[in-house]
Amino acid sequence: MTEHVDRSEPEAAVPQAPAAVTPADAADAARLVSFGLQPKLQPARDQEYTELLRRYREDPSFARLADAVATGLGLVVLEVSPRAGMAVTAAEDSVFAVRMSDYARRTSADGGDRFLHGLAHLAVAAMAFPRPEDLADDGYIGRVTVNGVDAFVRQACRRLEERAEEQGENTDPATDAPGLEAAWRIWIRRSAAGATKDARRLAGSTTGIVGKAVAFLTDSGFLQRTGDDHGGTYRTTARYQLQVRDMAGSAAMTELLELGVVPVTDGTPTLLPAEDTDALDLVADAGLPFHSA
């Protein structure tokens, strides 16, 4: 696939390139973008990749050319550096964009499932970068476990449930208006795990949904699997941090503000200590640092 892209690049890029640029330069720029399209490829492992990255950083006209190739393909350049490589991501409506309907089958029919998959991705990011400074610190490597993410979301949901109970609210949704059901209920209602005939994770359970999310992120070169404990443990890559910080976080924030919700944090911890009946902590030793400052 990448070879295919690679071959078609020079023709696409040449017309917009400045006169001084030779077709060979355009081919190199496209080659660099094609490396960026292989997110699991480590720059340090490939000499040609490393060389092209160096050229991008040292030769401004080459950098402009590579950026132009990426833009023409419908890609957004997040960062070009030895650690992250040519970190590109799909622009909106680009052929490279991931669609929810391709991601999970049930999501088109069921708003609840669509939400669960989206929330799983959001929760993985929140768990991987628990504090704002973790997201800002280029050297930070976050760690997540599948069971830990589920426990963390469940804990947050449980807290909302308790708050609703304290206020005497009846949160049971009206039968004919499922769209008005509070979002946290959807997660808490879904079981955390389930036995299956072939001892695999039940796809519809919340750990199954989180498992799918982290597996997908691993394929995207955003996470690296480090072990099998707690449903699978993963660590983040530089690309994931860039993606969350520069793309996803702000996009979701914008959407939230459009809904008229203005999250206010005043520096007090946003993750509060557990009440004694808090947290359907299904997993002992989730072992993750979450807190906020």
Residues between 49 and 78 that touch other proteins (CB under 8 A): 75
Q: Is residue 86 a contact partner of residue 32, using CB atoms and an 8 Å limit?
A: yes
CA distance 173 to 237: 40
The minimum distance between CB 83 and other proteins, in angstroms, equals 17
Cβ neighbours for 14, distance < 8 A, ≥ 6 positions apart? 23, 26
**By CB under 8 A, is residue 277 in contact with other proteins?**
yes
Of 86, 153, 209, 214, the one binding other proteins by CB under 8 A = 153
- Contact (CB, 8 A) for 88 and 33: yes
User: Residue 262 is which amino acid?
Assistant: V
24-32, 47-55, 57-65, 88-96 -> range binding other proteins (CB under 8 A):
88-96
Question: Closest distance between other proteins and the C-beta of residue 249, in Å?
Answer: 4
Query: Which DSSP string do the residues of 2-22 spell out, in sequence order?
Result: HHHHHHHHHHHHGGGS-TT--
Contacting other proteins (CB under 8 A), which of 53, 65, 123, 144? 123
Part of the chain binding other proteins (CB under 8 A), chosen from 15-23, 46-54, 57-65, 265-273: 265-273
According to CB under 8 A, which residues from 154 to 183 bind other proteins? Answer: 155-157, 160, 168, 170, 172-176, 178-183
Distance CA 278, CA 241 (A): 30
**Interface with other proteins includes 133 (CB under 8 A)?**
yes
Does residue 185 touch other proteins according to CB under 8 A?
yes
Binding mask 207-246 for other proteins (x = CB under 8 A): x--------xx--xxx-----xxxx-------x---xxx-
Quick check: 198 binds other proteins (CB under 8 A)? Answer: no
The phi and psi torsions of 196 (rounded to 5 degrees) equal -125, 165
For the CA atoms of 175, 176, 180, 185, the dihedral, rounded to the nearest 10 degrees, stands at: 30
